[in-house]
Amino acid sequence: MTIEVRIPTILRTYTDGAKAVEGDGDTIGEVLADLDVRYPGIRDRLITGEGALHRFVNVYLNDEDVRFLGAVDAKVATGDTVTILPAVAGG
Amino acid sequence: MLTIDAAILDAIVAHARRDHPDEACGIVAGPAGSDRPDRLIPMDNAERSSTFYRFDATQQLRVWREMDDRDEEPVVIYHSHTATPAEPSRTDVALAAEPGAHYLLVSTREPDRTEVRSFRIVDGSVNEEPVRVVNATVDPAAVQSYLFGHNPVTVDYECRA
């Protein structure tokens, strides 16, 4: 199913400047993999080599941090919105 | 150069002092493209740590959406260092993800003197910039304590009781 994905400023270099794009899949991981087909490289900015979310990237399904919903395995449905935000963090 | 209102800078310093010895963090939002920081939003440091900060993820989504609705952006991203100078750490540089923002650092390591400095952090390269404090009219004595940051680019700010 088609899911709207909101892209943060720093990743819009991958999406030709688009603030929101569409991705297909039944889980967060599938949607992000689908995005990588059209926007090569974007998945590596979000997912580690082991297939987990990068520690300093926040991905939300509607209003919830997907870390509380099963992370990359979180199920998505038509009408859902995925929002990506880089964590604001430092030392 | 970062131009910031004295009342907002005062509130940032007060936040840093209040949370000491933990690091404090937050943003100052402003109209998109204006480079004018005019809405202070203190954030929760989810790490509650004296050596690390991270915006609470749920709060961050709410605040970022609100900025979107108001056509604003994070003009300033601030955090405090509680035992080290007001300079970006290696972690700060590695994790900086808002190339358009002014990264404002506040050091509370000395109890009676607060150091405030501002930086641009883009793709791992750090450039310090002057801080110009405007509208410092609330307490005329306070104006004396700002060194307008051109050369050197540090602003020394004396904390008042």
B29/A contact by beta carbon, under 8 A = no
CA B151 vs. chain centroid, Å, equals: 20
> Could you read off the pLDDT of A38-52 as tens digits, one per residue?
999 999 999 999 999
Helix (H) / strand (E) containing B14: helix B6-19
Question: Which residues constitute the domain of residue B20?
Answer: 2-157
Which residues of chain B neighbour A56 with C-beta distances below 8 Å? 95, 97
- Bond preceding residue B152 cis, omega within 30 of 0: yes
What's the mean per-residue pLDDT of chain B?
88
Going by C-beta distance under 8 Å and a sequence separation of 6 or more, which residues neighbour residue B64?
A85
The minimum CA-CA distance between A26 and chain B, rounded to whole Å, is 23
- Checking if the pLDDT of B147 tops 70, the result is no
- Whether B96 and B121 have beta carbons less than 8 Å apart is answered as yes
What pLDDT does residue A81 have? 96
Percent of chain B with pLDDT over 70: 84
Which residues of chain B neighbour A62 with C-beta distances below 8 Å? none
Q: Which of the four pLDDT bands, split at 50, 70 and 90, describes residue A68? A: very high
What's the mean per-residue pLDDT of chain A?
95
Domains of chain A: residue spans and CATH = 2-86 (3.10.20.30)
Number of domains in chain B: 1
What pLDDT does residue B157 have? 55
Q: Please name the residues between 12 and 71 in chain A that touch chain B, using a CB distance below 8 Å.
A: 56, 58, 60, 63-65, 67
**Dihedral (CA of A14, A15, A17, A18) sign:** negative
What pLDDT does residue A16 have? 96
Answer yes or no: pTM beyond 0.80: yes
Pairwise CB contact (< 8 Å): A58 & B61: yes
- CATH code, domain with B120: 3.40.140.10
CA distance B155 to B27: 19
- Whether A85 and B60 have beta carbons less than 8 Å apart is answered as yes
Q: Which residues pair with B129 in a beta bridge?
A: B118
- Checking if the pLDDT of B121 tops 80, the result is yes
